[in-house]
Structure 1
Amino acid sequence: MVRRSKSMERTIKEGNEYLQRMEQVDRARQRNQNGQKRQRELRGAQEQKKQKESPKKIVQQKQVQVKREKQEKQQKKTKDDLKKQSQISISKSSRKIEKKTPIQLQKGQKNDLIKQNVQTQLQPEKRKSNNEMEVEKKTEKIVAKKQEMKIEKSIPKPQQQQQQQPKQGPRKTKSNISAASDANQPSIGMVDCVFVVDTTGSMDVYLERTTDAVEMLVERIKQQSKNEQVSVRFGLVCYRDHPPQELTYVTELHDLCSNREILKAIQKSDCSGGGDGAEAVLDGLNVAAQQISWRDSSKIPSLRYIFHICDQPPHGKEFGGYSELWDQTGCPCGLKPDQIIHRINMRQIHYRLIKADPTRLEKFADYFRGKVVNYDEVTLENGVADGMEIKISDMVIRELCPDILLD
């Protein structure tokens, strides 16, 4: 038997440990190589998908650019046409005024013209008696008075000239429905109610419920306004999403009108598109706050309401909505939620949120609930917003006509 020394045993142990380490290193290298191969394969597959999808996106982007160019051309044409029409109307009105305004005569010139006309008309051919001379003087006075009246009528007054000038300037608000006129307003007050509705594909399940809720709200508000003699007008703003997620429209405006016209508009609306989970919520609220022709409340007291029916939040992480393109940056139009809330508060608009899907709108409701001055919310249940019905039926008496309750 060969006896091993301690030094030999140490060297053998160290050799075995070294061999084990080398085996571990080789295994790690193989794992890294396999992982790199898998990553390369995944990248290649992703690049192939992008190459397949890129022509579709390019086509969509081209379509969006073509639509924008057409809209810009139409806007330029309309502006040029309005400028030409205004210039033509001004020139025509000035020509009419020049034709109608004769030269203003002084008192001495008027008398000279009257005398000349009288002398030409009354030239005596023979000498007449005293009685005949008196008759002629009377006739001269009568003729002179008649001619003075004619000259005064022919000279127009400055007020009449101002009335003849046409009113200039196009209408600011553009809508599918004619805006409401304030000619036949009652003496008590007026209420403007605007429905902001999400019309993307996810709302197709709730389409019947939303139409029923809008019809119920319109009828109840109209009944209360009849009993209290209050003028009520209704508006509608439909919104979807930004391209390339949606190519039909971002927002669609129906300005203030009667209850019949707004019911026709909500019945014609449909739900489609939308792309990702988050929608153009801030765009719809911004159009409702700024572009609706809210009636003036300086002379007659008025109430302003926005009823927001939706199931998805706007773009942005703070609201918890899923967005493929704008999850980090928020709304692609650049609008911030605080800007919308400030505009709603400055215009003294009562904001009412009707939630079709309460679970997805928790963060959005919490954000608006803490910052909007006059806020309320309710869930859309079985086509009837029960909680909102009671509050709307009492709003005209409590907020607009407090003197009636005191009596």
Structure 2
Amino acid sequence: MLKHIKMLSPTQILMIVSFLDMFSVGLIIPQLHQQALLLGCSHVLIGIMGAVYSASQLISGPIIGNLSDLKGRKPALLFTFTTCGVAYLLLGITTSALIFFILRFILGVVKQTQLLTRSIAPDYVKEPEQHSGLFGKMSTLSGIGMSVGPMVSGHLAEAFPDNGFTIIAFVVAVIYTINTYLINILPDNEKTSKLSDNEENKREESSVAPKLIDSVKRSFGESVDDLKKVNWVVYWDVFIYRLIISLCMGMYFSSFAVFLKTEHNVSPKYLGYIIAFKGAISSFCTYFIVHINRLYKTDSNATERTFHVFLAITVAFLGMGLASTLYVYILFIIPLAVGGAVGKVTNLEMIVKKGNDEHRGSIIGAAGSVRSLSGVVTPLLSGIISEYMGVPYVIIFAAIFASIGVGISYKIRTSLVPDKHKND
């Protein structure tokens, strides 16, 4: 078995890791709320946990991404997978609400596995044109894992009502142990670390019984100093796009279950089918992202694709918010899933094309932090809108945010057209 695993190519290993990572997330996430209630947490405290998790993701994203640039992406992945595996195991056996809260905070800080996996992937692809295809396949498998995970955890929780969460947490810990092994057998790549041989030797010589606090301070200082070297002005459009899409999707995901239940009387069973349908459409699109990109042969800067993504999402949210029947609502899930899937891959492609190997982890980490920022803001915003205006207006506001993206992407796209003709 291990012999066959070692015969896998680096890209195949990374695709398996992406699937297992999000499969484990799909396993544990649906059960966290109920487990917190069983430990005596109030709904307010559970909400604070979610906000703290997103806030810690927001802060740690650029730092961990930058540390991966400084110390090597493979060592960074090994550290995060190992730490997450231990934290999830402890999460399943603790009976203390305080420890549960602390472990969620720790996971928020170190759970940057998708960020780091996407950051290391281009190091094992020779042709830049193949990046989109690899990102698409990784996103496809991640989506499948996220869709299958909740169904499996639901069966486990029902089959073992007394200790289901402990069993699920143990399974997640095992999965992260497997992922740690898979990352460990990846071949070392000289591009995964920007330290010179002399610097590497010095680090090894000075690593004998290092003081933990001094090591952390030194790494943090190096990260901050290196972040200052990145030309952030070049990436302003990438972060604007990511922020708007994150706000749109955050508003949608924070309210869609309540919306379907209150407006269309959808049962939990059919709610699962709808989630699976959206996940299937998204996975299908990301898998065939190379073929989709062929429709945009002249869109080298991804402005046309971004404009179409925001247009599709805006139409989808308007259709969902105004849908008179459930079937109409489901129909508009298609453009939402397509737009969200293409937008995610396109955003990563823009980062890779605009940047360089030296700071790729930092940029992707910062982009992930933008998404985490929406995770702090959107639950509060959607709650206020639902309370004072009604649940349907949450999706309408999501459409408003998306329409802002339409306007910005259209303006950027048209501003680049004259330069393109001039070069021709």
TM-score range, shorter chain: under 0.3
Higher strand share: 1
Q: Could you state the TM-score of these two structures normalised by the residue count of structure 2? A: 0.20
Which structure has more relative contact order (CA 8 Å, sep 6+)? It is: 2
Higher helix share: 2
